[in-house]
Chains A and B, each alone.
Chain A
Amino acid sequence: MDLEEAEQWANSSSGNESRKELSSNHPPYSNFDSAQLQQKWDDPSMLDYGVRIEQSFQEFNQPNNDQAKIFGQEDVPMLDSVRTDKIPDWDPGTMLNNLSFLEEKIHQLQELVHFIGGKRSQVLGRPDDLVAQQKQLITADITSIIAQLISTAGSLLPSVKNTLSNTALSVGQLSQPGGVNLPPELGMTGCVQHQNNGGSKIPDESINTDLTANYGAEQSNNFDEHEMKDEEDADEGENLLPGTYEILQLEKEEILAPHTHFCAICGKGFKRDANLRMHMRGHGDEYKTAAALAKPHKESGSEPAVIKRYSCPYAGCKRNKDHKKFQPLKTILCVKNHYKRTHCDKSYTCSRCHTKKFSVIADLKTHEKHCGKDKWLCSCGTTFSRKDKLFGHIALFQGHTPAIPLDDTKGSAMPADHGTGTEAANKGYISPANFNFPSNSPGQTAAQNIVDDPSAFFSPINFETCNFGGFHEFPRPPFEDSESSFSFLLSGSCNYSQKTGGDSNSNNLE
Chain B
Amino acid sequence: MTENKKQKSEETSTNLFDFLSEELIFSILDFLDETPLDRKSFSLVCTSFYSLEAKHRKTLRPFRHHYLRKLLTRFRNVRRVDLTLCPIVTDPSLADISNACGDKLRAVDLSRSRCFSGAGLRCLAVNCRNLVEVDLSNATEIRDSAIAALAAEAKSLEKLSLARCKAITDLGVGCVAVGCRKLRLISLRWCLGVGDFGVGLIAVKCRELRSLDISYLPITDECLPSISKLQHLEDLVLEGCFGIDDSSLEVLRHGCKSLKRLDMSSCQNISPVGLSSLSCGAGDHLQELTLSFVSPVTLALADSLTKLPGLQSIKLDGCPVTCDGLKAIGNWCTSLRQLSLSKCPGVTDEGLSSVVSKHKDLRKLDITCCHKLTYVSIDHVTNSCTALTSLRMESCTLVPREAFVLIGERCHLLEELDLTDNEIDDEGLKSISRCSKLSILKLGICLNITDQGVAQVGFCCSKLVELDLYRCKNITDSGISAIARGCLDLEMINIAYCKDVTDSSLISLSQCLRLNTLESRGCPLITSLGLTAIAVRCKQLTKLDIKKCCNIDDSGMTPLAYFSQNLRQINLSYSAVTEAGLLTLASIGCLQSLTLLHLDGLTPNGLATALLTCEGLTKVKLQESFKSSLPQPLLKHLEARGCRIRPTMLEAKVRGHHVARLRTNLVAQLLELLRASFQWL
**How far, in whole Å, are A38 and B666 apart by their CA atoms in the complex?**
38
B663 surroundings in chain A (CB, below 8 A): 90, 95, 156-158
7 more CB-based (< 8 A) A-B contacts, given A394-B178, A401-B178, A415-B149: A153-B671, A174-B674, A180-B681, A395-B200, A404-B175, A410-B118, A412-B122
Tell whether B630 is near chain A: CB-to-CB under 8 Å. Answer: no
A150 interface residue (CB < 8 Å to B): yes
Q: Could you name 19 residue pairs across A and B whose Cβ atoms are closer than 8 Å? A: A142-B677, A142-B681, A146-B674, A146-B678, A154-B667, A158-B660, A170-B675, A174-B678, A391-B197, A394-B177, A395-B200, A395-B201, A401-B152, A404-B175, A408-B143, A410-B117, A411-B119, A412-B149, A434-B171
- Interface bits B111-137 vs A (CB < 8 Å: 1, else 0): 000000111001000000000000000
Per-residue B-contact encoding for A480-510, CB less than 8 Å = 1, 0 else:
0000000000000000000000000000001
Contact residue among B145, B671, B674 (Cβ-Cβ distance under 8 Å from A409) = B145
B612, CB-defined interface residue at 8 Å? no
Q: Which residues of A contact B533 (CB under 8 A)?
A: none
Tell me the complex Cα distance, A95–B204, Å.
Answer: 52
User: Once the chains bind, are A404 and B171 in contact (CB under 8 Å)?
Assistant: yes
Does any Cβ of A come within 8 Å of B482's Cβ? no
A90 to B660, CA, bound (A): 9
Q: Find chain A residues with CB under 8 A from B660 CB.
A: 90, 158
Q: Measuring CB to CB, which residues of chain A are less than 8 angstroms from any residue of chain B?
A: 38, 40-42, 89-90, 95, 102, 109, 113, 139, 142, 146, 149-150, 153-154, 156-158, 162, 166-167, 170, 173-174, 177-178, 180-181, 387-388, 391, 394-395, 399-405, 408-415, 417-418, 433-434, 510
Are A401 and B179 in contact, CB atoms less than 8 angstroms apart? yes
Q: Are A391 and B671 in contact (CB under 8 A)?
A: no
B410 at the A interface (CB under 8 A) = no
Set A153, A162, A410, A433: member contacting B171, Cβ < 8 A: A433
Q: Which 6 A-B pairs have the closest CB atoms?
A: A412-B118, A41-B218, A402-B174, A415-B152, A391-B197, A409-B145
CA A415 – CA B205 in complex, angstroms? 20
Residues of B in contact (CB 8 Å), total: 48
Question: Known interface pairs A395-B201, A410-B117. Does A387 touch B178 (Cβ–Cβ under 8 Å)?
Answer: no
Q: Within 8 Å of chain A (Cβ to Cβ): is B394?
A: no
A410 touches B143 (CB 8 A): yes
Contact (Cβ within 8 A) B118 A434: no
User: A478 to B675, alpha carbons, bound, how many Å?
Assistant: 56
- The chain B residue with its CB closest to the CB of A510 is B167
CA distance A216 to B150 in the complex (A): 47
Q: Judging by beta carbons under 8 Å apart, are A395 and B170 in contact?
A: no
> For the complex, what is the distance from the CA of A401 to the CA of B172, rounded to whole Å?
9
Question: A412 and B146 in contact (CB under 8 A), knowing A174-B675, A401-B152, A401-B179?
Answer: yes
Inter-chain CA distance A90–B153, complex, in Å, is 46
Per the bound structure, the CA–CA distance linking A90 and B681 in Å amounts to 34
A170, A410, A415: the one contacting B122 at CB < 8 Å is: A415
B664 at the interface (CB under 8 A from A): yes
> Distance in Å from the Cβ of B118 to the closest Cβ of chain A?
3
Q: Is the CB of B671 within 8 A of A404?
A: no
Query: Which of B145, B192, B205, B681 is close to A139, meaning CB atoms less than 8 Å apart?
Result: B681
Are A414 and B144 interface neighbours, CB within 8 A? no
**B556 CB, nearest partner CB in chain A, Å:** 40
Which residues does chain A contribute within 8 Å of B383, judged by CB atoms?
Answer: none
Return chain B residues, CB-CB under 8 Å to A89.
Answer: 656
B178: chain A residues within 8 A (beta carbon): 394, 399-402
Closest approach, in angstroms, between the C-beta of A174 and any C-beta of chain B? 5
- B contact residues around A414 at 8 Å (CB): 145, 148-149
- B192 engages A156 (CB within 8 Å): no
Known: A142-B681, A153-B670, A170-B675. A388 touches B152 (CB 8 A): no
Q: How far is the CB of B216 from chain A (nearest CB, A)?
A: 10
Q: Which residues of B contact A177 (CB under 8 A)?
A: 678-679, 681
In the docked arrangement, what's the CA distance between A149 and B678, Å?
12
Q: Counting CB contacts under 8 A, is B195 at the interface?
A: yes
Q: Say yes or no: B201 contacts A391, CB within 8 Å.
A: yes
Contact A387 B197 (CB under 8 A): yes
| Contact call B145/A412, Cβ cutoff below 8 A | yes
**Within 8 Å of chain A (Cβ to Cβ): is B397?**
no
Q: Is B678 touching A102 in the complex (CB atoms < 8 A)?
A: no
Q: Which residues of the partner chain A approach B144 to less than 8 Å between Cβ atoms?
A: 404-405, 408, 434
Q: Which B residues lie within 8 Å of A403 (CB)?
A: 171
In the complex, the chain B residue whose C-beta lies closest to that of A412 is B118
Asked if B681 and A402 make an inter-chain contact with CB atoms under 8 angstroms apart, the answer reads no
Which of the residues B153, B171, B174 comes within 8 Å of A415, measured between beta carbons?
B153
Residues of B within 8 A of A400 (CB): 178
Q: Please judge, given known A-B contacts A391-B197, A401-B179, whether A411 and B117 are in contact too, CB under 8 Å.
A: yes
Q: A401-B148, A409-B118, A412-B117 are in contact. Are A109 and B667 (CB under 8 A)?
A: no
B589 interface contact, C-beta 8 A: no
Q: Check B174 against A401 for contact (C-beta < 8 Å).
A: yes
Residue in B122, B200, B670 whose beta carbon sits within 8 Å of that of A149 in the complex: B670
Q: B152 — which chain A residues lie within 8 A by C-beta?
A: 401, 415, 417-418
Shortest distance between the CB of A324 and any CB in chain B (Å):
42
CB of A158 within 8 A of CB of B674, answer no
B578 at the interface (CB under 8 A from A): no
A181 to B677, CA, bound (A): 13
Residue of A nearest to B177 (CB): A394
Contact across chains for B671 and A150 when beta carbons are under 8 A apart: yes
The reply to whether B681 and A181 contact each other, CB–CB distance below 8 Å, is yes
Q: Which residues from chain A contact B671 at a C-beta distance below 8 Å? A: 150, 153, 166-167, 170
Question: Are A410 and B681 neighbours in the complex by a CB distance under 8 Å?
Answer: no
User: Given A167-B671, A411-B119, A415-B149, A38 and B193 touching (CB < 8 A)?
Assistant: yes
Nearest CB to that of B672 among chain A residues?
A170
Interface string of B164-191 (1 = CB under 8 A from A): 0001011110110111000000000000
With both beta carbons as reference points, the residue of chain A lying nearest to B118 in the complex is identified as A412
- Give the complex CA separation of A156 and B669 in angstroms: 13
A166–B671 alpha-carbon span in the complex (Å): 9
Q: For the complex, what is the distance from the CA of A193 to the CA of B667, rounded to whole Å?
A: 19
CA–CA, A174 and B664, complex, Å: 20
Contacts of A162 in B (CB 8 A): 664
B119 near A150 (CB under 8 angstroms)? no
Q: Which residues of B contact A40 (CB under 8 A)?
A: 192
Kindly supply a per-residue 1/0 record for chain B positions 463-481, scoring 1 wherever the CB is within 8 Å of any chain A CB and 0 otherwise. 0000000000000000000
Q: Which residues of B contact A41 (CB under 8 A)?
A: 192, 195, 218
CA distance A262 to B369 in the complex (A): 91
Q: Which of B143, B198, B671 has the most CB of A within 10 A?
A: B671
Q: Which residues from chain A contact B179 at a C-beta distance below 8 Å?
A: 401
State how many angstroms separate the Cβ of A86 from the closest Cβ of chain B.
17
| Contact of A404 with B119 in the complex, beta carbons under 8 Å | no
A391 CA to B205 CA in the complex, in Å? 11
Q: Which residues of chain A come closer than 8 Å to B675, judged between CB atoms?
A: 170, 173-174
> Per a CB cutoff under 8 Å, which of B172, B197, B670 touches A388?
B197
Whether A166 contacts B667 in the complex (CB less than 8 A), given A410-B143, A434-B144, A434-B171, comes out as yes
A365 to B659, CA, bound (A): 59
With A38-B169, A391-B170, A404-B175 as known contacts, state yes or no: A109 contacts B117, CB within 8 Å. Answer: no
Give A89 to B193 CA distance when docked, in angstroms. Answer: 24
Enumerate chain A residues within 8 angstroms of B681, measured Cβ to Cβ.
139, 142, 177-178, 180-181
Contact A156 B171 (CB under 8 A): no
Task: Give Cα A40–Cα B151 distance, bound, in whole angstroms.
Answer: 25
- Closest Cβ–Cβ distance, residue B229 to chain A (whole Å): 12
A40→B216 CA distance, assembly (Å): 12
Residues of B within 8 A of A433 (CB): 169, 171
**B267 → A minimal CB distance (Å):** 15
The residues of B that contact A415 with a CB separation of less than 8 Å are: 122, 148-149, 152-153
B151 nearest CB neighbor, chain A only: A401
Q: Which residues of A contact B666 (CB under 8 A)?
A: 156
CA of A486 to CA of B148 in the docked complex: distance in angstroms? Answer: 34
Complex: chain B residue closest to A175, CB-CB = B678
CB < 8 Å neighbour of B148 from A142, A157, A395, A404: A404
Out of B198, B664, B677, name the residue touching A158 (CB < 8 Å). Answer: B664
| In the complex, chain B residues whose CB is within 8 Å of the CB of A142 | 677, 681
